[in-house]
């Protein structure tokens, strides 16, 4: 089905119109006849027919049903628990927290992952571990899927209601006409138009503090929307039942994972360095702890800087000058270094293990974290900087959610696949080669230098004798 649909789309793009062979009903013909040769991605007719049996945009759903509860889901998500709606309504109906409760978050879970989660797609820290901690503040961060919203949150803060320009869009409006009636469809077309938001408070207006609906000022409109809702005074609740509420699909090769993470990195930085940065505006509106929590997410791409330095600088220092930046076993600071090193890793492993992870999946998570720091986070940071300077970039790539049976079989077996060739792999490859050369140098020092032979590096016999002499002096001092 995927390939047939792909072929249809390519043919339609090539001929510039939807041919009769692709129209299966009169409703489809009525919808596509509204599209003319002059439409653009930013100025085109509205097609409402497709929304009646699928997800509806916020304003369109207000015109057609105006239900007080809104569920947001990614296109590849499916329900896994019939009790999910009841759980969400229990929170939303609680009079003790109802007044400022904006949404309920269910953790994003994935099916199709292999036993050891080769590519760390589960992202336990972002989707399961961190939300438990943030739930003690004003609640978890909105990540775009698996959320049940109170429609009221899109109309200002708990104590500041923003009146819509149309009474029919108000969360208190009652729809008293059939969904298929002509007045309802006409009004739905009107509010779904490309230019409707102009001169209104809907969407993202950089010069307006008071806004309505979802906010679009970032590639990660979900993070931005949830963040602005928290700044307005709303809180959220993390609901993590044993049975997953929803399941989605994840990429099963490395290049798709990195492309997806690069897009997220750019969106994070757009939020972090905006006029509503969590470190300034957010800390004042939500409190310093929630400001730090959001800063932990939105400034994550900056970790690529120390990661890249860590991957290259020690190796360059050793290869060029034979200098080690890490303390030796006999140095006085070694115990402190070892305590910090093993303490940090043990704490991280304990959090991961208590969240249901295994030793092997935690190790895979560590590897992918390092790979991301040298690839997608680094490229995302560079692309954001270029974009901020007005330099054109290649844009973002959509993540493929479609895999064939052979790919799925190899993924289930834990086979590591890089996918197609990509520039994202260049820093990772360079770091791997440099670290291998560093290991080769270390082995050469142990086997060759101590025998008075040159190993072929910018070090020679005289330097070997100097190192041996230094070791003797250090040993003599310790004996004294």
Which sequence spans correspond to the domains of the chain? Answer: 1-39, 56-270
Question: For 280, which DSSP code?
Answer: I
297 Rama sector, left if φ>0, alpha if ψ -120 to 50, beta otherwise: alpha
Q: Indicate the class that CATH gives domain 56-270.
A: alpha beta
Q: How many whole angstroms separate alpha carbon 95 and alpha carbon 62?
A: 24
Q: How many whole angstroms separate alpha carbon 336 and alpha carbon 130?
A: 27
> Over its length of 480 residues, how does the chain's per-residue pLDDT go in tens digits?
555 666 776 776 677 667 777 777 776 676 666 666 666 655 666 655 544 444 567 888 888 888 999 998 888 888 899 999 999 999 999 999 989 999 999 998 888 788 888 888 888 888 999 999 999 999 999 988 899 999 999 998 898 888 888 888 889 898 888 888 888 888 888 888 777 877 788 876 555 556 788 888 788 888 999 999 999 999 999 999 999 999 988 877 888 889 989 999 999 999 999 889 999 999 999 999 999 999 999 999 999 999 999 998 888 887 777 777 778 888 888 899 899 999 999 999 999 999 888 999 999 999 999 999 999 999 999 999 998 888 876 654 555 545 556 666 776 666 777 777 888 999 999 999 988 887 777 777 666 554 545 544 444 445 555 555 665 565 555 554
149 has which bridge partners? 70, 103
For 31, residues 6+ apart whose C-beta sits below 8 A from its C-beta are 47, 49, 50
- For 143, 203, 413, 427, the CA distances from 369, given in Å and listed in that order, are 19, 34, 21, 14
Q: Are 271 and 224 in contact (CB under 8 A)?
A: yes
Apex 232 CA angle, 228 and 236, nearest 5: 75
Q: How many whole angstroms separate alpha carbon 197 and alpha carbon 414?
A: 48
Q: How many whole angstroms separate alpha carbon 371 and alpha carbon 380?
A: 13
Q: How many helices (H) and strands (E) does the chain have?
A: 18, 8
Q: Residue holding tokens 């970039």?
A: 393
Residue 362 host element (H or E): helix 359-374
Task: Write down the pLDDT at residue 201.
Answer: 80
| Closest C-alpha among 74, 201, 84 to residue 142 | 74
For 297, residues 6+ apart whose C-beta sits below 8 A from its C-beta are 126, 141, 223, 268
Provide the whole-model pTM. Answer: 0.79
| Closest C-alpha among 72, 77, 46, 45 to residue 60 | 46
Residue 148 host element (H or E): strand 147-150
Neighbours of 401 (CB within 10 A): 15
CB burial class (10 A; 0-12, 13-18, 19+) of residue 86? exposed
Q: How many whole angstroms separate alpha carbon 226 and alpha carbon 73?
A: 14
Neighbours of 331 (CB within 10 A): 12
For the chain, percent helix, then strand, then coil, each to nearest 5?
50, 5, 40
Q: Which two tokens stand for residue 224?
A: 């931005």
Q: Residue holding tokens 């129209």?
A: 23
Q: Are 268 and 130 in contact (CB under 8 A)?
A: no
Q: How many whole angstroms separate alpha carbon 191 and alpha carbon 67?
A: 17
Provide the angle, in degrees to the nearest 10, between the axes of the packed helices 425-447 and 359-374: 110
Task: Write down the pLDDT at residue 467.
Answer: 56
Q: Are 131 and 107 in contact (CB under 8 A)?
A: yes
Task: Write down the pLDDT at residue 53.
Answer: 40
Per residue in 99-130, is it b (16+ CB within 10 Å) or e — as a string?
Answer: eebbbbbbbbbbeebbebbbbbbbbbbbbbbb
């Amino acid at each position: 089905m995927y390939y047939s649909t792909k072929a249809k789309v390519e043919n339609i793009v090539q001929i510039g119109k939807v041919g009769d062979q692709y129209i299966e009903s009169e409703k489809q013909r009525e919808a596509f006849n509204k599209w003319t040769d002059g439409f653009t991605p930013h100025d085109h007719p509205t097609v409402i027919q497709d929304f009646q049996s699928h997800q509806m945009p916020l304003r369109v759903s207000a015109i057609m049903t105006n239900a007080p509860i809104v569920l947001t889901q990614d296109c590849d998500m499916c329900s896994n628990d019939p009790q999910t709606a009841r759980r969400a309504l229990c929170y939303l109906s609680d009079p003790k927290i109802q007044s400022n409760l904006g949404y309920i978050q269910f953790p994003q879970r994935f099916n199709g992952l292999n036993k050891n989660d080769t590519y760390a797609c589960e992202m336990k820290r972002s989707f399961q571990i961190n939300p438990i901690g943030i739930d003690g503040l004003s609640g978890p961060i909105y990540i775009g899927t698996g959320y049940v919203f109170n429609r009221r949150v899109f109309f200002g803060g708990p104590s500041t209601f923003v009146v819509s320009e149309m009474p029919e869009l108000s969360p208190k409006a009652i729809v008293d006409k059939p969904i298929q009636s002509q007045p309802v469809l006409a009004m739905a077309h009107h509010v779904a138009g490309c230019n409707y938001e102009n001169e209104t408070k809907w969407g993202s207006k950089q010069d307006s503090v008071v806004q309505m609906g979802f906010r679009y000022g970032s590639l990660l409109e979900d993070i931005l929307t949830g963040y602005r809702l928290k700044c307005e005074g709303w809180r959220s609740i993390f609901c993590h039942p044993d049975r997953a509420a929803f399941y989605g699909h994840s990429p099963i090769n490395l290049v798709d994972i990195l492309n997806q993470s690069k897009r997220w990195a750019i969106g994070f930085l757009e939020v972090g360095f905006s006029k509503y940065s969590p470190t300034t505006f957010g800390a004042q509106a939500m409190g310093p702890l929630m400001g730090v929590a959001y800063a932990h997410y939105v400034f994550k791409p900056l970790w690529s800087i120390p990661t890249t330095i860590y991957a290259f600088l020690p190796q360059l220092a050793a290869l060029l000058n034979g200098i080690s930046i890490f303390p030796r076993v006999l140095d006085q600071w070694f115990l402190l270094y070892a305590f910090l090193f093993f303490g940090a890793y043990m704490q991280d492993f304990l959090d991961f293990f208590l969240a249901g992870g295994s030793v092997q999946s935690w190790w895979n998570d560590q590897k992918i974290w390092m790979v991301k720091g040298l690839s997608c986070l680094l490229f995302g940071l560079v692309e954001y900087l270029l974009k901020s300077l007005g330099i054109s970039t290649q844009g973002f790539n959509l993540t493929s959610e479609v895999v064939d049976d052979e790919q799925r079989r190899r993924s289930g077996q834990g086979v590591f696949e890089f996918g197609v060739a990509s520039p994202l792999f260049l820093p990772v490859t360079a770091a791997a080669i440099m670290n291998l050369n560093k290991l080769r140098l270390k082995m050469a020092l142990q086997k060759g230098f101590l025998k008075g032979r040159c190993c072929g590096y910018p070090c020679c016999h005289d330097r070997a004798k100097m190192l041996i002499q230094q070791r003797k002096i250090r040993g003599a001092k310790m004996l004294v």
